[in-house]
Amino acid sequence: MAILSFEDLRNKSLDENKPIYQIAQEEEAELAEITVDMVRIKVLEDLTAMKSAVKNGLKSTEKGISGWCGDDCDKLKKHYREQPSLFGKVFEKITAYALATAEENLRMGRIVACPTAGSCGIVPSVIIAVAEEKNIPETKQIDALLTAGTIGLIVSNKVQLAGAVAGCQAECGVASAMAAGALVEMLGGETEEILQAAALAMKNILGLTCDPVCGLVEVPCIKRNAFLAVHAVTAAELALCGIKSKIPIDEVADVLKRTGELMSPVLKETSTGGLARTKTALELEKVLFKKD
């Protein structure tokens, strides 16, 4: 995409009176030398794959290599059946769908990296749960996914979206910003509100480390997807009522990059610090790798 900053995106959207998704699909069509309709068909394929991942994840309790994770979604579903969530059906679905997708990733099932495999549950859970509960048509869901993709793409122009480069703020954090923007789009928000939602989500996860226990994308990754999906909803709600990030989104993304550079390598997917070096994690490692 030729647009490298959120400021450029905002200006183009205002100057041409086009929503973000329209700019995204036109840019992508030009770049890939295909029609806008073909772009939307490709996005629909991603959306369909995301829905399949949720569906498969909701049915399975199969654990991953470690045997630690894989049945949390099932536990949550059972809990909601007995005791509905304080926050209602949308919250129930968002948290369950986020876990379902992240657990599918654990099982090597088919997921859509959005923006990464470790953070694959955040964007789908928000889009799919809200679409189901608010009867939002498929075409609006495609608009939302295009909006999410644009946010992720612009951040990725500034910093590589990988825990090994900038910590989990660049994976689950950016996914949450993408989901926040997508949600605002689905709920009828304008470009400014979408960018504010993304800024608020991103700003409030700066510094999030990547410290997977035993180097597996399980702990803390899976449950983190549920937390950061809900985080996206908070950002969207704030933005939709006119609350703004005092720090503009481009500057927030720049800080994310700088924070990643300042972050010690032990907190960037090396599993040599943070949660991965706790007493419990070391014990788990001993058992898993049968170390003396």
Rounded to 10°, the helix 6-16/20-32 angle is 100
142/210 with CB nearer ligand SF4? 210
89/110 with CB nearer ligand SF4? 110
171/185 with CB nearer ligand SF4? 171
CB of 211 to ligand SF4, least distance (A): 6
Burial code (b: 16+ CB inside 10 Å, e: under 16) for 224-263 equals bbbebbbbbbebbbbbbeeeebeebbbebbbbbbebbeeb
CB of 288 to ligand SF4, least distance (A): 16
Residues that bind ligand SF4 (CB under 6 A): 118-119, 163, 168, 171-172, 210, 212, 217, 220-221, 224, 269
CB of 275 to ligand SF4, least distance (A): 8
Rounded CA gap, 181 and 201, in Å? 9
CB of 57 to ligand SF4, least distance (A): 16
CB of 239 to ligand SF4, least distance (A): 24
21/97 with CB nearer ligand SF4? 97
Phi, psi of 268 (to 5 degrees): -125, 70
93/224 with CB nearer ligand SF4? 224
Decide if 130 contacts 230 (C-beta within 8 A): no
